[in-house]
Structure 1
């Protein structure tokens, strides 16, 4: 099966979907409203399921070569005491891969490099999809339209196409948290590949990249729309008494590099990921909180599953039905688990609740954290009868 596909959104999920669709024999156009596909963003952790999806799509080797395995780390209290330690080697034995850290820009570039430049249309804002012809939907842009046999809505948490397809859905909701993040301006030595520190209504974490720089993030309980005149200065004061290397990571950051976003999610699950020949993917389908590090991994799973379904099913209708049946239950389960993890982790603010959580973490068996990661990261790509690059 093959045809013309339009992917709306040039982020990680959209580019991955385009790579998979091309391998399944489809002609693909990726439409991105930004004037350039800039390599922006901070860092990302990829679990085994995300790496397996990238292997399936043929770009795993390039991503692994640019990433840094996360073997040492865990969760700490603000004064530095370890609550849990992650055994990256045990995770590798269980899943065949440790978690890896990579700049989002590098992952984005690896996916974009796997596509011919002519299939990328930037600076084009999609207004809606005209589905008057059930077999040839039309993606309407500013002043023109693109006909296709399939439309992939990968246009993010604020998906305009999702709002059109499900007008009664409430859309994304504020999670109760806001996140600030950046990559250090030079290499640092935080003494562990990654770490999370949980305080009262606050979290600080870091991952180290292959070039020695580190990405850090600070998550704070806050109402939507809160912004700071001096974000970096605010964080330096907020975390001044927290353990090393947190002050050092902030000191190694340029003020202009700090990104600030509210954390939003689709609390109300969608009733379907497909409507006719339009399919939702990534944050457009199942935006989740970052507490399990699974947002991008689930989008990569979506892309691999969609490509395999379109390659293996006799019709577009049966392929999209298979995609919905395989992806909606799993991704929505992971989204619920991420929400629970946030409520029991960073979002806890009452001193008694925080103390009880910390005690439970200290008393947990050494393998409990590995099993918790495996629960969501142990995913096997669908079968696809064609050579796949390792």
Structure 2
């Protein structure tokens, strides 16, 4: 049975790569007219890199990005408050954590699929739910489908059609992202820094020899504050000078502004010959850096299930193996976002104290759960 994948983002493309390797027929429908080398940066954490190891893509991806071995929450001065050392898990799973340009990752994945099966300019608008399903696109064309994987993002049409009881939550936070030509000092190249100060956060990481990905967040009350670059730089003027440099050197058209939101956990991802994957199933706020990583885990587990079970059973098995972990991360990421932006000075000091004094064994245990991939 041919499977139709809706969406050629990282989750959809990784699914296609996995199905390609298993000899399972598929078609990908993507709304964009072209897949450009666009976007900002992304961190492929240990769990995602384990999947790429299984798919035979680890070394290729490592060569395209930058290896990082620690995640650091800091003060505005970049003095470390809390550090997660990733070296133990690198040794345990024999993979590196890689920061890379999102567009570079997508282009790599495209190289490993049959591009004749990729249909661009196909924005899904409706599905006739009588089996075989009829996919209706905004260009007036249709396609008959035996099985559907909805990898079409937080505003998924597949989810809207088959799982209509859902809620997209607004975090009342705005995120600015950018990629800039810049070489960090040698002592900063192998780590992610995220500085917290007075309802503001700023993170940065090297993603290639001469490129740095940065992101900045704050809360808002009524509408997103579309800062000009100079205003954004002024907003973070209490931070380490490198923050102002990164913002100031980034071309205006390379700064992306987005409202932060997630998908409140839903009870089911699979029904009949349809299932959801990635943000369509469990969109999360960016506070754990796990959105794409979880989509990649989905892709691997789903492909393993499809190889071992009949289709409907495979979809249900995939849901059973993945839903608890993904939804736990959605909730955790949501709460971290709220904690990071507390405005009360006393509560902010309490948060800072907890970060400084959380036991290493606790951080290690949390990472252990995060990096463990379900066995089919």
Rounded to whole Å, the distance in 1 between the matches of 2:337 and 2:42 is: 18
**Residue in structure 2 matched with residue 388 of structure 1 by the alignment:** none
Q: Report 1:1-390 matches (<5 A).
A: 3-72=1-70, 74-133=72-131, 136-141=132-137, 142-170=139-167, 172-189=168-185, 191-192=187-188, 193-223=191-221, 225-228=223-226, 230=228, 232-267=229-264, 269-313=265-309, 315-344=310-339, 346-380=340-374, 382=375
Shift of 1:196: 0.6
The question of whether the paired residues in 1 share the 8 Å contact of 2:195 and 2:203 is answered with yes
Shift of 1:190: 7.4
SS in 2 for 1:184: strand
Deviations 1:90-109 (A, max 9, x none): 34234433432111011111
Rounded to whole Å, the distance in 1 between the matches of 2:223 and 2:110 is: 32
Count of paired positions: 373
Shift of 1:13: 0.6
The question of whether the paired residues in 1 share the 8 Å contact of 2:50 and 2:95 is answered with no
Deviations 1:184-212 (A, max 9, x none): 13434374132011112221001112323
Task: Report the aligned-residue RMSD.
Answer: 1.9
The alpha-carbon distance between structure 1 residues 293 and 281, as it changes in their structure 2 partners (threshold 3 A), is same
The question of whether the paired residues in 2 share the 8 Å contact of 1:48 and 1:378 is answered with no
The alpha-carbon distance between structure 1 residues 195 and 229, as it changes in their structure 2 partners (threshold 3 A), is closer
Q: Structure 2 length normalisation: TM-score? A: 0.93
Rounded to whole Å, the distance in 2 between the matches of 1:348 and 1:223 is: 14
User: What are the ranges of 5 or more consecutive residues in structure 2 without an aligned counterpart?
Assistant: none
The alpha-carbon distance between structure 1 residues 186 and 77, as it changes in their structure 2 partners (threshold 3 A), is closer
The alpha-carbon distance between structure 1 residues 106 and 157, as it changes in their structure 2 partners (threshold 3 A), is same
Determine which structure has greater relative contact order: mean sequence separation of CA pairs < 8 Å that are 6+ residues apart, divided by chain length: 1
The alpha-carbon distance between structure 1 residues 91 and 56, as it changes in their structure 2 partners (threshold 3 A), is closer
Shift of 1:259: 0.5
Rounded to whole Å, the distance in 2 between the matches of 1:378 and 1:67 is: 23
The question of whether the paired residues in 2 share the 8 Å contact of 1:203 and 1:219 is answered with yes
Shift of 1:224: 6.5
Rounded to whole Å, the distance in 1 between the matches of 2:186 and 2:222 is: 31
The question of whether the paired residues in 1 share the 8 Å contact of 2:180 and 2:251 is answered with yes
The question of whether the paired residues in 2 share the 8 Å contact of 1:80 and 1:244 is answered with no
The question of whether the paired residues in 2 share the 8 Å contact of 1:228 and 1:234 is answered with no
Rounded to whole Å, the distance in 2 between the matches of 1:328 and 1:156 is: 17
User: What are the ranges of 5 or more consecutive residues in structure 1 without an aligned counterpart?
Assistant: 384-390
Shift of 1:177: 1.1
SS in 1 for 2:166: coil
Q: Structure 1 length normalisation: TM-score? A: 0.90
Rounded to whole Å, the distance in 2 between the matches of 1:183 and 1:252 is: 10
Rounded to whole Å, the distance in 1 between the matches of 2:216 and 2:284 is: 17
Deviations 1:301-351 (A, max 9, x none): 1111111111011x211111111111212211111111122222x222211
